[in-house]
Structure 1
Amino acid sequence: MFLEVETHCHTIASGHAYNTLEEMVLEAKNRGLKGICITDHGPEMPGSCSSLYFYNLVVVPREISGIMIFRGCEANIIDYEGTIDIPESALKRLDFVIASLHDVCIPSGTVSDHTRALIGAIKNPYVHCIGHPGNPLFEIDREAVVRAAKEYNKAIEINNASFYVRQKSKENCIEILKLCKKYGVYIAMGSDAHFKTDIGRCDVTRKLIEEYDFPQDLIVNKSLESFLEFLRLHGRDV
């Protein structure tokens, strides 16, 4: 199994990543990828770019050095109803939108709060994927979130960086992966790269997918075609 599309990475526009967009794309090419989603943080993340950045992503070429470019964002969930920090007029211009909970943008609450927030984001028609739901700072009713993702045909991210930077994420992610398999829910393998050498790095995620025999046809970014098909499912014909 190989990963052909990177669905989660950050450039210097996010404020705490260290490479330019072009550097990230060229590294993706060096690693044999076919596509990359540029998913910088929404404006509620301290130091990140304004909404204008996401409006203007249309100026980025669709292809650079043979790599297909997908215009995206990692939107911040800013309340327990699932509101995100990117305006709808900008979301309409994007190909792939991840919605995530970050403790610098919203305080940790109860399991019920976090679950409601993720389900609210899932219901947003412009959100395609829930980012790093295994984060132990935001414990959730995992089954409820996965079932909501199934209802709305959204993807759940298995975030490889979490295994290194978020303590106790692995146990949560294993349970999420099992539930996604049980209910037939899409997953995205995301590196969450903030430096170019992590582009496409999904070593732990791959091992878990193999260990738990997760269905290949539910991995949205396994191939370029599977990713394009997932976007078409949500009305985005790139």
Structure 2
Amino acid sequence: MRKIIADTHAHTIVSGHAYSTIREMASAARRRGIQVQALTEHAPKMPGTCGLYYFQNLDVIPREMDGVRMLFGAELNIMDPEGNVDLPERVCEELDLAIASMHIPCFGEGRSEDEVMRAYEAVMKKPYVKIIGHPDDSRFPTDYERLVKMAKETGTLLELNNSSLRPASFRVGTRENLLTMLDLCRQYDVAVTTGSDAHVDVDAGNFCYVSELLEYCNFPEDLVVTTDPEQLKRYLQIDL
């Protein structure tokens, strides 16, 4: 497997439950050899995070720090089975990238598989959503074949989330779910991305668990867009 050179999901102190600044995250990414570091703060409905104006003002931040190409976006909260998210479309379209994820404080718990899948399918049809974040948690029951097929149809990247695979992760059944998802991605020729989901600088660009998983299942490296800047540019539709 070629080296992972991009991290498409991480947070800074403004997300409320993260602990490092933008420059600390950039510096840590450089030390790990990461060429592209995305900072994707939790969107406004996550308790404790930043508000709308933060996302409207991201154009003032330099896109290169410490020799690292920086991307600034949002981790949108999927709010309901209709796939509504918590930033306006016009704001999302101006971000470098938008991830859409399910979190219990926003989507709730005890949802049925059909509700989860309706939400995923609706949000993947939004052209500004480039990535589905951590689709690996059994608390949100998922039909992975249906998810992978929709990702292929819409050109949406499915995320391998390093934080989900931590032994102390609060997410449920993540390794087994990701192995199922990766097998289907191989079958249907669907690309994945890698997100550290770092909430502190020491984890920026940390893919120790993701790399082990990819090696374990011998996943095709050409389907991992974060090993190839040209593929990443194509999927995110952004210059790097």
SS at match of 1:138: coil
AA at the equivalent of 2:217: Y
Q: 1:47-62 maps to which residues of 2 (within 5 A)?
A: 47-62=48-63
* Separation of aligned partners in 1, 2:153 and 2:230: 23
Q: 1:1-238 maps to which residues of 2 (within 5 A)?
A: 1-108=2-109, 109-164=111-166, 165=169, 166-232=171-237, 236-237=238-239
Worse overlay, 207-216 or 93-102: 207-216
TM-aligned CA deviation for residue 209 of structure 1 = 1.3
Q: Output one character per residue of 1:20-44: Cα deviation in whole Å (capped at 9) or x when no partner.
A: 1111011111111111111010000
Worse overlay, 122-131 or 200-209: 200-209
* Separation of aligned partners in 2, 1:192 and 1:37: 10
* Separation of aligned partners in 1, 2:69 and 2:76: 21
AA at the equivalent of 1:27: A
* Separation of aligned partners in 2, 1:148 and 1:225: 23
Q: Output one character per residue of 1:189-228: Cα deviation in whole Å (capped at 9) or x when no partner.
A: 1110001111111112112212222121211211333322
Identity %: 40
Query: Normalization by structure 2: what TM-score?
Result: 0.94
Structure 1 spans left out of the alignment, 5+ residues: none
TM-aligned CA deviation for residue 140 of structure 1 = 0.9
Q: Output one character per residue of 1:162-181: Cα deviation in whole Å (capped at 9) or x when no partner.
A: 11212321111110111111
Worse overlay, 125-134 or 85-94: 85-94
TM-aligned CA deviation for residue 123 of structure 1 = 0.6
TM-aligned CA deviation for residue 71 of structure 1 = 1.6
SS at match of 1:105: helix
TM-aligned CA deviation for residue 121 of structure 1 = 0.9
SS at match of 1:175: helix
Worse overlay, 43-52 or 89-98: 89-98
* Separation of aligned partners in 1, 2:203 and 2:144: 27
* Separation of aligned partners in 1, 2:160 and 2:6: 14
SS at match of 2:74: strand
AA at the equivalent of 1:167: V
SS at match of 2:104: coil
Q: Output one character per residue of 1:130-170: Cα deviation in whole Å (capped at 9) or x when no partner.
A: 01111111011111111000001110001111112123211
Structure 2 spans left out of the alignment, 5+ residues: none
AA at the equivalent of 2:104: D
Query: Normalization by structure 1: what TM-score?
Result: 0.95
SS at match of 2:107: coil
* Separation of aligned partners in 2, 1:225 and 1:174: 26
